[in-house]
Amino acid sequence: MCGNNMSAPLPAIVPAARRATAAVIFLHGLGDTGHGWAEAFAGIRIPHVKYICPHAPTMPVSLNMRMSMPSWFDIHGLSPDAEEDEGGIKRASENIKALIDQEVKNGIPSDRIILGGFSQGGALSLYTALTTQQKLAGVVALSCWLPLRNSFPQASAINVNKDIALLQCHGDCDPLVPFMFGHQTAEKMKTLINPANVTFKSYRGLPHSACPEVKHFLVKMQKFCCFLVLENGTY
């Protein structure tokens, strides 16, 4: 459940109120844990949906003077030309794919699983959705970017999620992951999946902070989830 060989705690889970027929796997941002997001989902949960919020391992992060903190992979910088931790990104993605596989083994079809995340977690969600061999219901990407963007389309899993639904949200006053990066990511995604299925939502005056964003983003995400994973399994 991590982007390197370090161990990470078991995920924070919000169980379905009745039999789980769908799941949301949501990845937190740099320096955070899954607990806050699990609490947020508990307040808006859909009865037949299980919410899984894994925790990143603790590791030194180059961006923050090598201080150790929860991180899915190392981050060297936030500029478009910054060096990327290719090995760490790929290892973290494989562990998220293993989590998806586990939910399939638990009886939830992969096309009833939504993958999402905030900031670094959103970036990992985008990369994983494009490279997994499992067909997913959708992906939610909040205030983030596409890692290893120059490796696509070659790195994409062939046709598996070409019609996946993508909801991408970004504040236009984000000082850490600039709005331009989010918009460029949405345009890139339109070249990799069906562009008709890409929704990019901007939020005026919103910075890069999970706290004020939760109420804005989760309302939009709730509607997105309801549409994709209706209780009767139809779309």
- E strand segments, the chain: 12-14, 22-27, 49-53, 58-61, 67-70, 113-118, 138-142, 165-171, 198-203
Answer yes or no: 119 catalytic: yes
Catalytic residue from among 93, 119, 125, 143: 119
| CB 123, CB 145: distance < 8 Å | yes
Classify the phi-psi angles of 73: left when phi > 0, otherwise alpha if psi is within -120 to 50, otherwise beta.
beta
CB atoms within 10 A of CB 47: 11
Rg of the Cα trace of the chain? 16
| CB 126, CB 136: distance < 8 Å | no
Answer yes or no: 216 catalytic: no
Answer yes or no: 208 catalytic: yes
| CB 217, CB 142: distance < 8 Å | yes
Residue 194: helix, strand or coil by DSSP?
coil
Catalytic residue from among 48, 55, 170, 208: 208
* Span between the terminal Cα atoms of the chain, in Å: 30
CB atoms within 10 A of CB 9: 14
Using alpha carbons, list the distances in angstroms from residue 15 to 22, 52, 117: 11, 8, 18
Residues catalogued as catalytic? 119, 174, 208
